Amino acid sequence: MLQIPMWKRVLIWSTCALAILFAMPNLFYDRVERHNDAVALFAAGDGSEAVEADRGAWPSFMPSFLVNLGLDLRGGAHLLAEVRVSDVYADRIDSMWPDVRDRLAEERSTVGAVRRMPSDDPGELRVRVGNPETIEQAAGFVRELAQPTQSATGFGQARDLDVRIDGEDIVVTLSEAERQATDERTMRLSLEIIRRRVDEAGTREPTIQRQGADRILIQVPGIGSAEELKELIGTTARLTFHPVVNATSDPDATPGPREVIYPSMDEPGTYYILEQTPVVTGEQLVDAQPGMDQNNRPAVNFRFNPAGGRAFGQYTAENIGNPFAIVLDGEVISAPVIQSHIPGGSGIITGRFTVEETSQLAVLLRAGALPAEMDFLEERTVGPELGQDSIDAGQIAAIVAMLAVLAFMLASYGIFGVIANIALLLNLSMIFALLSLIGATLTLPGIAGIVLTIGMAVDATVLIFERIREEMRTAKGPARAIELGYDKALSAILDANITTFITAVILFAMGSGPVRGFAVTLGLGILTSVFTALFVTRLMLVIYFERKRPKTLAI
Amino acid sequence: MMRLKLVPQDTAIDFFRHWKVTFGASLMAMVLSLLVFAIMGLNFGIDFRGGTSIRTEAQEPLDVAAYRDAIAPLGFGDVAITEVFDPAFGPDRNVASVRIQAQEGTEAITTEQINAVRDALQAVDPTLSFAAVESVGPKVSGELIQAAVISVALALAAVLFYIWLRFEWQFSVGAVAALVHDVVLTIGIFSILQIRFDLAIIAALLTIVGYSLNDTVVVFDRVRENLIKYKKRPLKEVLTLSINETLSRTVMTSVTTLLALLSLFILGGDVIRGFVFAMIWGVIVGTYSSVFVASAMMLQLGVKRDWSKNSGDTAGTQFGVKEG
């Protein structure tokens, strides 16, 4: 009747043993964490004594997976940024102008002179040709410039440009397919650049994730505040080099068509009117290093890639004696006069920098400019002290909850209570083992989820015990009562837990951040408590029964 | 050995003798909750309303009026300052929560704005520091509200469907009536006490849904079993019997869960106290509703009794081993 085959017993006990083994590192959190850090450093080639000592803090044959602590427990910053993906359209379409101009210049005999017209929408290029009657033909020439859309999946069928005729103007815009492909590239580039910048700052285990179409979630544990993080990643660091049209002291001066006005960074009250289309941009930089200029002032040395170097070399050769503006994020850093042809594609940025500023600027330039600006939709900072307080309070609450439940179960069920209590402790080990193994993140609501599980986990066991009690009354003997108890409680246990599990799954799917952490612990708690109630308590009861052969059950 | 027995072995409490009173009371409580909600509204946290919440800690005793006067000149509009209490705080830990409404033209708060608030407050108390800053833009808060409403609705629908699959539709209606009852009453108590209602409370709300359901399903499972066992007895008797049979378990589970939650409420710190309060309330209301709402509802709806003929397709699949 009450028989459990040996293989099943071995399986159940080994599951429990593994759970304890994998939950164990969390009891020695600091030591294991130091060990893990040291192992990573060691693998990276750091063999110093301190690293060696830390590596020995935890035996290497033991599992060393830890539960990740969420930002609300560890302290750190959380940012949700929205990338202005449409900013990139304007740049893309703007960069088409030389090609369009050159193509139509080739057909000058038919279409006449080509003029670029101002447009209200920065995402479109308006061109007017000298002979309006040839506009259809001219639009045809522009259409030839369209390339197949490049996307992550390769070359698509669609073309990247839409060319239409609006009155006397030929209007060139990015096609829908190209916009999507551009958005995709913008997001990937933004993610990559943010990752590089955060990595340069050297904090532990940052989370940088894309969310939805145009959002990026950034979580950095251990950073002082979201403000610091914003400064690090929020700077666009877009470096461009423009021909200077004019310098003025009037901030409201109206620049001509295709011209922009930017303030000077060092000289308040000075404004530069520049040509809108840059000669070269920071994207063509291959390296940037802090250094000194010939007057021993902090400066940043940079080098262009071959294409950028060529464009820069050609422009300087053609414009000797003309001023030339170096613009960073809409401010003119400096506007030197070109003294000579600069071949080789390297140069220096000077301005009124401090040494710190030059090294930060070099970092930003190396990591690359963000392709578009970002808006911050959400930010959260939790100080490390508050996080530690939450951990401490959560720990105490969990221990007290545990003791109270253990005592209550013991008082209510006697020897059966002992079994239920062992099952409860095993259950907790399993939750922690699973959380560590899947690398889940423990949050403050997650701790609440565990404490709630301590209370609810006994439910399945209670259902069984109560059923055994009832079955004992119909006096079929203790063995039969135990068996019937398990059989009849099964459907209630499953139904009750599946419904709760459904809500946990929905919470996980819809929730974010801490709520998700709660859903994970709740869901895992349900799985492990069903397992312990159905298998572990049963096995323990059977063993007890085999040893004692009681005539009646003290339940 | 002495045993603690909260519920005597055989109970025969007639839960439905005053069903009109209890059912009416539940209905009244729901109407009242909705009324309070309509009049006072919920004290939405920044997750749902947008804005910025700053947790300050200072060594000097805090003076809410001085804080308010310091922030007022900055022109941030609606600023709410509340003192935060916790038994774990010593006399040199004075914690306040400063809430600033969402600012026109920006999503999350800007660095300059935060620094301005910090400077203004540190002028009042130099020992003050920011333990936590949270800022949510109106765009995200709108989406969070939407996601929260959808998740609660989805949970209710999924559960309705599952119970319908496993039991009869009357069970399903009873269970969902109980859940709606619990959710409405929770919103009611949050409106009355003006406890901050944020994202975590939605999680608590869904847990309440899960817990209350847990209770309801256990009773229903017994009802289903007894309906097959006692084919001739009237539904009311079967329901009463089933509730009595499962009463001991209901009380046991509620007590262990409440023990755990109370310890968290008292010792778990102020950050999650609202969350835990919602759950404690939910456990109490949920236990009550599984008997006095779910079962009472089913009693009124009546259940088709001729399962014996083709129990397979009407009663849905059963996991339990049926005795032949």
Q: pLDDT for A429-478, tens place per residue?
A: 999 999 999 888 888 888 888 877 877 778 888 889 888 888 888 767 88
Q: From B150, which residue of chain A is nearest by alpha-carbon distance? A: A510
How far is the C-alpha of A318 from the C-alpha of A338, rounded, in Å?
A: 10
Instruction: Evaluate whether B57 touches B95 at the Cβ level (below 8 Å).
Output: yes
> Which of B1, B166, B267 is nearest residue A554 as measured by Cβ atoms?
B1
- C-alpha distance from B316 to closest chain A C-alpha (Å): 12
Q: Which residue has the higher pLDDT, A203 or B308?
A: A203
Task: Give percent of chain A with pLDDT exceeding 70.
Answer: 96
What 3-state DSSP class applies to A325?
strand
What is the CATH code of the structural domain delimited by B19-44+141-314?
1.20.1640.10
How far is the C-alpha of A123 from the C-alpha of A120, rounded, in Å?
A: 9
Query: A435, A454, A449, A451: which is closest to A504 by C-alpha?
Result: A449
How far is the C-alpha of A417 from the C-alpha of A408, rounded, in Å?
A: 8
Q: Which amino acid would we find at residue A398?
A: A
Q: Do B248 and A466 touch (CB under 8 A)?
A: yes
For chain A, say whether B321 makes contact (Cβ under 8 Å): yes
- C-alpha distance from A89 to closest chain B C-alpha (Å): 23
The DSSP code for A440 is -
Q: Write out pLDDT tens, residues B140-196.
A: 888 888 888 888 888 888 888 888 888 888 888 898 899 899 999 999 999 999 988
Q: Write out pLDDT tens, residues A146-161.
A: 877 766 555 556 778 8
Instruction: Evaluate whether B276 touches B265 at the Cβ level (below 8 Å).
Output: yes
Q: Do B199 and A231 touch (CB under 8 A)?
A: no
Using a CB-CB distance cutoff of 8 angstroms, which residues of chain A are in contact with residue B246?
466
Average pLDDT for A386-403: 89
pLDDT at A427: 92
Q: How far apart are the first and last CA of chain B?
A: 37
| Pure H helices in A203-254 | 226-234
pLDDT at A204: 66
Q: Do A515 and B200 touch (CB under 8 A)?
A: yes
Q: Which amino acid would we find at residue A548?
A: K
Tokens 């759970």 sit on residue? A19
Examine the pLDDT at B324 and tell me if it is beyond 50. no
How, if at all, do strands B43-44 and B196-197 pair? parallel
CATH 3.30.70.2040 domain residues, chain B: 51-136
Instruction: Evaluate whether A126 touches A258 at the Cβ level (below 8 Å).
Output: no
A167: left (phi over 0), alpha (psi -120 to 50) or beta: left
The DSSP code for A428 is H
Mean pLDDT is lowest, of A23-37, A315-329, A501-515, B21-35, for A501-515
Instruction: Evaluate whether A72 touches A387 at the Cβ level (below 8 Å).
Output: yes
Q: Write out pLDDT tens, residues A59-106.
A: 888 888 888 888 888 888 888 999 988 888 887 888 788 888 888 888
Q: Structure tokens of B74?
A: 């900055």
Average pLDDT for A228-248: 81
What 3-state DSSP class applies to A296?
coil
Q: Which amino acid would we find at residue B128?
A: L
Query: Could you tell me which residues come within 8 angstroms of residue A133 by beta carbon, excluding any fewer than 6 positions away?
Result: none
Q: How far apart are the first and last CA of chain A?
A: 20
Confidence grade of residue A54 (pLDDT, cut at 50, 70, 90): confident
Q: Which amino acid would we find at residue A416?
A: F
> Which of A80, A445, A498 is nearest residue B203 as measured by Cβ atoms?
A445
Number of Cβ atoms within 10 Å of the Cβ of B245: 19
- C-alpha distance from A339 to closest chain B C-alpha (Å): 41
How far is the C-alpha of A34 from the C-alpha of A36, rounded, in Å?
A: 5
How far is the C-alpha of B280 from the C-alpha of B201, rounded, in Å?
A: 12
pLDDT at A48: 79
For residue A522, with 0-12 CB atoms within 10 Å meaning exposed, 13-18 middle and 19 or more buried, which class applies? buried
> Which of B130, B137, B260 is nearest residue A401 as measured by Cβ atoms?
B260
pLDDT at A139: 85
Query: B283, B285, B290: which is closest to B265 by C-alpha?
Result: B283
Q: Which helix (H) or strand (E) holds A157?
A: strand A154-159
Tokens 């003050």 sit on residue? B128
Find how far residue A104's CA is from the centre of its chain: 45
Q: Do B259 and A455 touch (CB under 8 A)?
A: yes
How far is the C-alpha of A339 from the C-alpha of A474, rounded, in Å?
A: 106
Best A373, A453, A499, A521 residue to mutate vs chain B (most B CBs within 10 Å) = A499
What 3-state DSSP class applies to A252?
coil
Tokens 């999507």 sit on residue? A180
The DSSP code for A284 is G
How far is the C-alpha of A435 from the C-alpha of A20, rounded, in Å?
A: 13
CATH 1.20.1640.10 domain residues, chain B: 19-44+141-314
Q: Write out pLDDT tens, residues A273-282.
A: 888 888 888 7
Tokens 């620094």 sit on residue? B115
Q: Structure tokens of B32?
A: 């009242």
Q: From B257, which residue of chain A is nearest by alpha-carbon distance? A: A455
Q: Do B148 and A510 touch (CB under 8 A)?
A: yes
How far is the C-alpha of B282 from the C-alpha of B206, rounded, in Å?
A: 10
For chain A, say whether B237 makes contact (Cβ under 8 Å): no
Using a CB-CB distance cutoff of 8 angstroms, which residues of chain A are in contact with residue B147?
510-512
Classify each residue of A259-292 as buried b or exposed e, where b means 16 or more C-beta atoms within 10 Å of its C-beta.
Answer: bbbbebbeeeeebbbbbbbbbbbbebbeebebbe
Examine the pLDDT at B112 and tell me if it is beyond 60. yes
How far is the C-alpha of B87 from the C-alpha of B94, rounded, in Å?
A: 12
pLDDT at A509: 85
Instruction: Evaluate whether A293 touches A256 at the Cβ level (below 8 Å).
Output: no
What 3-state DSSP class applies to A62?
coil
For chain A, say whether B136 makes contact (Cβ under 8 Å): yes
Q: Do A404 and B222 touch (CB under 8 A)?
A: no
Examine the pLDDT at B37 and tell me if it is beyond 90. yes
How far is the C-alpha of A314 from the C-alpha of A308, rounded, in Å?
A: 10
For chain A, say whether B157 makes contact (Cβ under 8 Å): no
How far is the C-alpha of B94 from the C-alpha of B274, rounded, in Å?
A: 19
Confidence grade of residue B1 (pLDDT, cut at 50, 70, 90): low
pLDDT at A434: 93
Confidence grade of residue B316 (pLDDT, cut at 50, 70, 90): very low
> Which of A386, A414, A469 is nearest residue B55 as measured by Cβ atoms?
A386
Q: From A488, which residue of chain B is nearest by alpha-carbon distance? A: B320
Mean pLDDT is lowest, of A7-16, A251-260, B285-294, for A251-260
Q: Do A80 and B140 touch (CB under 8 A)?
A: yes
Examine the pLDDT at B315 and tell me if it is beyond 60. no
Confidence grade of residue A508 (pLDDT, cut at 50, 70, 90): confident
Q: Do A506 and B158 touch (CB under 8 A)?
A: yes
Size of interface A-B (CB pairs under 8 A): 257
Number of alpha carbons in the 13 Å side-chain half-sphere of residue A483: 13
Average pLDDT for B125-143: 87
Examine the pLDDT at A114 and tell me if it is beyond 90. no
Q: What is the CATH class of B51-136?
A: alpha beta
Number of Cβ atoms within 10 Å of the Cβ of A6: 8
Query: B16, B177, B2: which is closest to A417 by C-alpha?
Result: B2
Number of Cβ atoms within 10 Å of the Cβ of B285: 25
Instruction: Evaluate whether A41 touches A51 at the Cβ level (below 8 Å).
Output: yes
